[in-house]
Structure 1
């Protein structure tokens, strides 16, 4: 299975302390008694079946939702007691369903991350911001797209542009909600490579990636959280958590998972 990831002792950038979330009006438990800490420089994968609470956890981490019980802290800021605009400066959030205006160039789309708007606010962008946007596109393997309209970019290219946009504010935490959704195999591998390069070039950046498939995990992922029915099934170093027994319990059917080099492969077959 490969060894456990080394323990990190960096600053806690995200901390859930006995968090529960109930969905009105019936009070259905979306998350139940979740405790979880992400530290600077860690790269977490969050896996679980549909309805496990993965996206709800990311909404809390980005300040878009509030716990019914317990507390969520982002870099020492208590969610529910801090202005969401303040969290936007330290948390980058990417969802596969977020659509970028297709008439914008890739560079301009990245710049809109500074203002959090769909369309550019030109007066607030400086030359250093434009240079930073170009650097991020280069870092994510999209240097040649800077002046290309988003509408003619592939889905894989758009996924990397969305990530560059989220990084333009220099966040300490990057949240990726199913970033590989609807990507074909070459586009998936391009994004995996881009995220691995990002981890190497920004060693203090913490990332949390929600996915359904272990095959999508970049080599940089060093921790994993398994959720089922809103509860934590397992959490810790990726080499300890991503084993066949744990994934079988989490997904409720026999799963075999193996590590091939720095990547993972899972199969499922009923005996």
Structure 2
């Protein structure tokens, strides 16, 4: 009995020690970053003043209602860029995932190559993609499309590969034992089984890209991100607040539709 109590006490002492070390490391990191940036903790006391200013200036008013037409037009463009980049990336990702999945690949070297490619593409942040592409394609919708496309391509390729591999080698071997060809296994056996899971990933990425498209627009000078930047810099805070409200409504609407479609397909 005493040995059990001693083991429990030792266990909790180790946990407490690790927690203390973690808190100390975080505290030291905060202090070091504060000194490096010249940040003063007293500045946090002024947060409430900033929030009051935000509520006074960013609340849409009667004057900002005249911007609805322009905002909706740019919001629509942003939505189209997000949807088209996601759907185009999904088609390419499906092709790469079939070639890269361990259960279907024709070559282990090809599988590792595709896996490395997808990891590289999805680990480059969307902001980095936009900044890189700006050098070649300048500020236009194509730059935003490509930035979203490349990031989505890496993410969906990896997600599709894992979904296809969950289908199982045994099922594929059973189909091949009946005389099914490679293409028949894919199009008549695999895809009908995993279609719902793949579509769920596509819907998720559409939601994610609608949010990211706004940020990309700030860098590429297009869409809803561009007019937010324009309104904000020209001190039209009510109109800028209306942009934020419209983006929130769009994101929530897309998420609700995505969840509804997911439930209907389940």
TM superposition score normalised by structure 1: 0.24
Task: Give the structure with the higher percent helix.
Answer: 2
Task: Give the structure with the higher percent strand.
Answer: 1
TM superposition score normalised by structure 2: 0.25
Q: Which has the larger radius of gyration?
A: 2
